[in-house]
Amino acid sequence: MNKILEVRGLSKTYGPGCPQCVESTGPEADTNLCPHCGSVVAIHDVSFDLFEGEILGVMGESGSGKSTVVKAIYFDQAPSSGEAIFYDSDKQHELFALNAARQRWLRNHRFGMVYQNPHLGLNFNISAGGNIAERLLMSDVMDYGAIRARAKALLARTEVLLSRVDDLPKHFSGGMQQRVQIAKALATRPPLLFLDEVSTGLDLSVQARILDLILEIQQELKTAMVVVTHDLGVIRLLTGRAIVMKYGRVIETGLTDQILEDPQHAYTQRLVASAL
Amino acid sequence: MNATPLTQGGNAYNFGFLDEYAKKEVRRAVLKAIAIPGYQVPYASREMPMGRGFGTGGLQLTLALIGPDEVMKVIDQGSDDSVNAVNLRQFIEMTCPGVSTTTKTTGCTLIQSRHRIPELPLTAQQIIVLQVPYPDPLVVVEPSEDKRKTMHGEADYSRLLVKLYEDIVKFDEITISHRYPTRINGHYVIDPSPIPRWDVPKLDDSAALILFGAGREKKIYAVPPHTRAEPLAFSDVPFRVEDFRDGAGQRRACARCGSVDSFLDEFVADSGSKTYQCSDSDWCDGVEASA
């Protein structure tokens, strides 16, 4: 299997930071707030690999830093330190060493992101089709007919009624907004997709359909995905491998089945035991 | 530097109203604007003895560039005789002694214009200054100037193109009638001031230097001579200028001079009937005189 993403030592601290930050935070210290300088150590020394066509789960409680990991790789927030290498067919990109324009290029052409809150991923002032068009225009597709056809095909694929292509997303239900977001993220056929709590907050039947859709797409396009969620059901259904985070540290990593059936770390054991 | 005032005789004002330091500042901004085609250069934009929004940006460019032997033409919506043009021309005559003014496009060396570029092709000896109300084409999609600067720097105009996309979805054509976003030299997209689409192709590979001055927004930008200017469009929905054909497909002619290759203004009579006339009065006069 080919490696697609290699993350090493990713860290992000909010605040001034001090030499004691790292040792006085984390699962052992039971906090991510440094008592000496008041900085928040959102993530520290996160490392993982992602292979072609694989779905990696990142789980943990609220505030464990799981979203910060994908936000850093998707260039939403620059990390404090660490590196990430993206293997794009025959090229390698060291993500945090690139200039802003190159980062934007990668983000538009090669990555996709689906946020928990559709307001972050969609522009609510333009139509659903326009949202997909925006993404295609960002990646230099300049043919109106081609854009229109692709937008329709994507919305059909994600089961959004074609009669609503030109409606504003604010008139859509939450599940539909999420499906438009997925269509938008897939517009450029990215080899790497980030899903940040995609199904959280949706009712169960809609949740199931969104997850089915993601699995189907993954089978079809062999897209590598990083799925961030606190929902163990989602982890079990979607992912092959998972990492467990607490207070910004990776406390356990391995095959999903293994983690869920035979958790090693005390926190993971509690997490799995508490699942409904 | 030599910034001695050029006051003459009993005239208390410096030649060109602006003091020499102000002129120098504007000229520096102009040089930078020419060096980076389409980039909006900030400048101080002095108080002028008229309200901002009445062409103060264009006027400051004019006054910074004008010399005693200049032949000046002032246009407002194609006409030399409308209020804005007359006022500006009189102000220039008053503050720049020795300068001659004309209404002819041929022979003038400096043109200040509001909302039109003359029909007659300009020459390398001429400079045209356009008055600009809103210099940034991205203002319709991004309210933060900080973010707009980054977008310009990275030539990220996809959100502008989405506007065009939505237009075609709704109306089957691009409905921007004036201020058509135009990409200069393959990078920066400018707001070419409220010139009609008809005038946009004149920006491309122009022999004359085209300068844009926004007084209220304090920006100067330029399309240098022989620079590419491409209106934003899709590869299968190309840019097109105004269509002046009537219902029968016949190109409308100017009611006064009969010209069929100029931008026409529409006049609606009290009876409801419409007549069409050249917007460029000098062009109209020229065609009429040669007929």
C-alpha dist (Å) from residue A54 to A49, A185, A256, B89, B192: 10, 17, 12, 71, 49
pLDDT tens column, B7-45: 655 557 899 999 999 999 999 999 999 999 999 999 999
Q: Do B234 and A144 touch (CB under 8 A)?
A: yes
If we measure between CA atoms, which residue out of B135, B130, B137 comes closest to residue B55? B130
- Chain B: nearest CA to A260, how far in angstroms? 44
How far is C-alpha A171 from the chain's CA centre? 25
Distance CA(A119)–CA(A211), nearest Å, equals 20
Q: Do A134 and B236 touch (CB under 8 A)?
A: no
Question: Within a 10 A sphere around the Cβ of B118, how many other Cβ atoms?
Answer: 25
Q: What is the pLDDT of residue A27?
A: 86
Q: What is the pLDDT of residue A17?
A: 85
The secondary structure of residue A13, as a DSSP letter, is: E
The yes-or-no verdict on residue B211 having pLDDT over 90 is yes
| Cβ–Cβ contact B240 with A under 8 A | no
The secondary structure of residue B138, as a DSSP letter, is: G
Q: For all residues of chain A together, what is the average pLDDT?
A: 90
For B:50-109, CB contacts with A below 8 A are: none
What's the whole-number mean pLDDT along residues B252-273? Answer: 93
Q: What is the pLDDT of residue B281?
A: 94
Residue B257 bears catalytic tag: yes
The yes-or-no verdict on residue B183 having pLDDT over 90 is yes
Q: What is the pLDDT of residue A134?
A: 92
- Chain B: nearest CA to A275, how far in angstroms? 43
Helix (H, G, I), strand (E, B) or coil at B37: coil
**Domain B20-141+149-231: which CATH number of 3.40.50.11310, 3.40.309.10, 3.30.1330.40, 2.40.30.40:** 3.40.50.11310
Residue B108 bears catalytic tag: no
The yes-or-no verdict on residue B241 having pLDDT over 70 is yes
Q: What is the pLDDT of residue A26?
A: 86
C-alpha dist (Å) from residue B238 to A16, A98, B156, B168, B185: 53, 35, 20, 11, 18
Q: Do B169 and A134 touch (CB under 8 A)?
A: no
Provide, as residue numbers in chain A, all residues whose Cβ is less than 8 Å from the Cβ of B236: 143-146
Q: Do A137 and B161 touch (CB under 8 A)?
A: yes
Which member of B257, B258, B272, B286 is catalytic?
B257
Q: What is the pLDDT of residue A24?
A: 87
What's the whole-number mean pLDDT along residues B258-278? Answer: 93
For residue B270, which amino acid is it? Answer: D
Distance CA(A22)–CA(A29), nearest Å, equals 10
- Strand A3-14, strand A40-51: pairing: antiparallel
Helix (H, G, I), strand (E, B) or coil at A225: strand
If we measure between CA atoms, which residue out of B256, B185, B261 comes closest to residue B225? B185
Helices (H) and strands (E) in chain A, counts: 10, 10
Question: Within a 10 A sphere around the Cβ of B245, how many other Cβ atoms?
Answer: 9
Place of tokens 């310009």: B152
Q: What is the pLDDT of residue B232?
A: 95
Q: What is the pLDDT of residue B60?
A: 97
Residue B96 bears catalytic tag: no
| Cβ–Cβ contact B168 with A under 8 A | yes
For residue A188, which amino acid is it? Answer: T
Pairwise pLDDT comparison (B172 vs B6), residue with the higher score:
B172
* Greatest pairwise CA separation for chain B in angstroms: 64
| Cβ–Cβ contact B236 with A under 8 A | yes
Q: Do A101 and B169 touch (CB under 8 A)?
A: no
Q: What is the pLDDT of residue A231?
A: 87
Provide, as residue numbers in chain A, all residues whose Cβ is less than 8 Å from the Cβ of B159: 123, 134
The yes-or-no verdict on residue B287 having pLDDT over 90 is yes
What's the whole-number mean pLDDT along residues A151-179? Answer: 90
C-alpha dist (Å) from residue B70 to A129, B14, B85: 54, 16, 17
Distance CA(B204)–CA(B225), nearest Å, equals 9
Q: Do B156 and A147 touch (CB under 8 A)?
A: no
Q: What is the pLDDT of residue B8?
A: 59
Q: What is the pLDDT of residue B217?
A: 94
What's the whole-number mean pLDDT along residues B160-169? Answer: 92
Q: Do B162 and A129 touch (CB under 8 A)?
A: no
Provide, as residue numbers in chain A, all residues whose Cβ is less than 8 Å from the Cβ of B189: none
User: Where along chain A do its domains lie?
Assistant: 121-189
Provide, as residue numbers in chain A, all residues whose Cβ is less than 8 Å from the Cβ of B170: 166
The yes-or-no verdict on residue B277 having pLDDT over 90 is yes
For residue B146, which amino acid is it? Answer: D
Reported confidence tier of residue A257, pLDDT bands at 50, 70, 90: very high
Q: What is the pLDDT of residue A241?
A: 94
Q: What is the pLDDT of residue B2?
A: 56
Reported confidence tier of residue A90, pLDDT bands at 50, 70, 90: confident
Measured at the alpha carbon of residue A168, what is the angle toward residues A164 and A172, in degrees to the nearest 5?
70
Q: What percentage of chain B exceeds 90 in pLDDT?
A: 88
Q: What is the pLDDT of residue A49?
A: 94
For residue A240, which amino acid is it? Answer: G
Reported confidence tier of residue A100, pLDDT bands at 50, 70, 90: confident
The yes-or-no verdict on residue B1 having pLDDT over 70 is no
Q: For all residues of chain B together, what is the average pLDDT?
A: 93
Q: Lowest-pLDDT range, A13-22, B99-108, B183-192, B196-205?
A: A13-22
Strand partners, A41: A13
Backbone angles phi, psi at B157, to 5 degrees: -115, 20
Provide, as residue numbers in chain B, all residues whose Cβ is less than 8 Å from the Cβ of A163: none
pLDDT tens column, B43-68: 999 999 988 888 999 999 999 999 99
User: Where along chain B do its domains lie?
Assistant: 20-141+149-231, 245-291
Closest by Cβ to B162, choosing from A137, A142, A166: A137
In this prediction the ipTM stands at: 0.81
- Chain B: nearest CA to A123, how far in angstroms? 10
Which member of B58, B213, B278, B286 is catalytic?
B278
